Amino acid sequence: MTPGASTETAVGTPAAPRTWRRKGVGRRADSLFLLLAAFSGVLILLVLAYMVISTTGTALPVFTSQGISFITGSEWSPSAGKFGALPFIYGTVITSVIALIIAVPLSLAVSLFLTEYPVPRRLRGVVAYAVDLLAAVPSVIYGLWGVFILLPLFLQPAANFLNKYLGFIPIFAGPPSGLSYFGAGVILAIMITPIISSLSREVFATVPDADKQAAYALGATRWEMIREVVFPRSRAGIIGAIMLGLGRALGETIAIALLIGSRPVVDSSILRPGYSMAAVIANQFQEATGDHIRALVAIGVLLFAITIVINMAARALVWRFNRP
């Protein structure tokens, strides 16, 4: 036997058992990971099911006694046993719509500025870090900042301005107040802008450079390239980012409770105080008893149902845009 063959045998013989041992350990690790992943998924489903069943069971007497008037009624009087949740549903929808009207264009503009324009790398890093940092600020900080800084410096003057020059339009009718649907919508817009912007930035970054360069080669300007290449390829991601921001807006509590005005009425003017579903739960739950607690839980069930419907609609839109 040649020295080379002897070395090959000596080196190769013990390698096989080690390889088999590694494969065996790998299979066991894969099985363990699969088991843990399946357990986690089932646990999440069980927790969600328990939450839905328990809250719905608590709220069922209110749904039964109030009927459809719980959703369509506008009178909220716990002492009289009247629970109409329409003002809270209305306030939640109006503030969320105002937030989206402000936040979506601003978020997309910031994302395009950071991804599609020749911004110095250092400036891009600073702006991106600042946007991401805003997403981590607690909502109570936003609320306090809104009450003590934004309200006197911007919200009240802006409400006065809108009422003075556009007061003939019902949504800007007065008397104006800084604590209003408008004020709550503005603070919500500031809160969800970092979320939508960060996700949109990641989506825009996935658009192939070859497609952009092809548009430029055909004579497209930067805006035409963005409109014809970046936006069409990013529609599904943009919708997902907007829906995630909307989910944050619908469920926001503390900041809205501080700035919406806590007035349980349906008012056509966005410059007047109102109420939201999450805010009324936070403000009244500690002092509530009996049917009052059940009514607040019922509002929570409605809010959960609205969130589920919006998520399903978002998934349907994403699926439609992703179809070949």
pLDDT digits (tens, 9 = 90+) for 250-304: 989 899 999 998 899 999 999 999 999 999 999 998 888 889 999 999 999 999 9
Q: Which stretch of 25-34, 198-207, 228-237, 308-317 has the lowest confidence by average pLDDT? A: 25-34
Beta-bridge mates of residue 82: 77
* Tokens 């992943």, residue located: 37
Q: How confident is the model at residue 210 (pLDDT cuts 50, 70, 90)?
A: very high
Residue ranges of domains in the chain: 66-322
Q: How many CB atoms lie within 10 A of CB 265?
A: 16
Q: What is the mean pLDDT of the chain?
A: 88
* Dist CA 187 CA 248 (whole Å): 12
Q: Is the pLDDT of residue 4 over 80?
A: no
Query: Tokens 């998924």 — which residue?
Result: 41
**Alpha-carbon gap, residue 248 to 281, rounded angstroms:** 16
HSE, side-chain direction, 13 A CA sphere, residue 156: 10
pLDDT at 53 over 90: yes
Condensed to tens digits (0 to 9), the pLDDT of residues 127-156 reads: 889 988 998 899 999 999 999 999 999 999
pLDDT tens-digit series, residues 95-117: 999 999 999 999 999 999 999 88
| Fold type of domain 66-322 | MetI-like fold (1.10.3720)
What confidence category does residue 159 fall into, taking pLDDT thresholds of 50, 70 and 90?
Answer: very high
pLDDT for the residue numbered 38: 93
pTM for the structure as a whole: 0.86
Please give the span between the terminal C-alpha atoms of the chain, in angstroms, as a whole number: 64
Most confident range, picked from 22-31, 69-78, 88-97, 171-180: 88-97
DSSP H or E segment with residue 232: helix 231-251
pLDDT at 223 over 80: yes
- Strands (DSSP E) along 20-156, which ranges? 76-77, 82-83
Closest-CA residue to 190 (of 234, 236, 149, 238): 149
At residue 82, φ and ψ (nearest 5 deg) are: -110, 125
Instruction: Average the pLDDT over 73-81 and give the result.
Output: 89
- Kind of pairing between the strands at 76-77 and 82-83: antiparallel
- What percentage of the chain carries pLDDT values higher than 90? 61
Predicted pLDDT of residue 1: 46
Using 50, 70 and 90 to split pLDDT, how confident is the model at 46? very high
